[in-house]
Amino acid sequence: DSGVTQTPKHLITATGQRVTLRCSPRSGDLSVYWYQQSLDQGLQFLIQYYNGEERAKGNILERFSAQQFPDLHSELNLSSLELGDSALYFCASSVEGAQYFGPGTRLTVL
């Protein structure tokens, strides 16, 4: 158990819909990272927050947004969903050094 929690574990929705993925980092970790894992793109960095502020941005679509709240949990919002957004979405947290990953949310867009 990495100490990072993610909900929900599975999410099935339809094209055009909007979903919210939630992540709670390990106790004491200020940084939260979001990654997407798909069969064709592999593991891709989406975005990072540090203590409530956006710190780095990767290959995140404009339809996707994220935020980190004062209690340090983070949410990833995916809107106008397309079939190609089906993937495993990971949250990770760190203080420094290694990033510890949550169990992931498997999103299926039908």
Partner 1 sequence: AQKITQTQPGMFVQEKEAVTLDCTYDTSDPSYGLFWYKQPSSGEMIFLIYQGSYDQQNATEGRYSLNFQKARKSANLVISASQLGDSAMYFCAMRAQGAQKLVFGQGTRLTINP
Asked if 14 and 108 touch (Cβ cutoff 8 Å), the reply is no
Closest CA to 7 of 84, 79, 74, 63: 74
Query: Is position 61 an interface residue for partner 1 (rule: CB under 8 A)?
Result: no
Amino acid at 16: G
Nearer to partner 1, 64 or 100 (CB): 100
**Contact string (CB under 8 A) for partner 1, positions 10-49, x = contact:** ---------------------x-x-x------xx-x--x-
Asked if 73 and 24 touch (Cβ cutoff 8 Å), the reply is yes
DSSP symbol at 29: -
Query: Is position 92 an interface residue for partner 1 (rule: CB under 8 A)?
Result: yes
Residues at the interface with partner 1 (CB under 8 A)? 2, 31, 33, 35, 42-43, 45, 48, 55-56, 58, 88, 90, 92, 97-104, 106
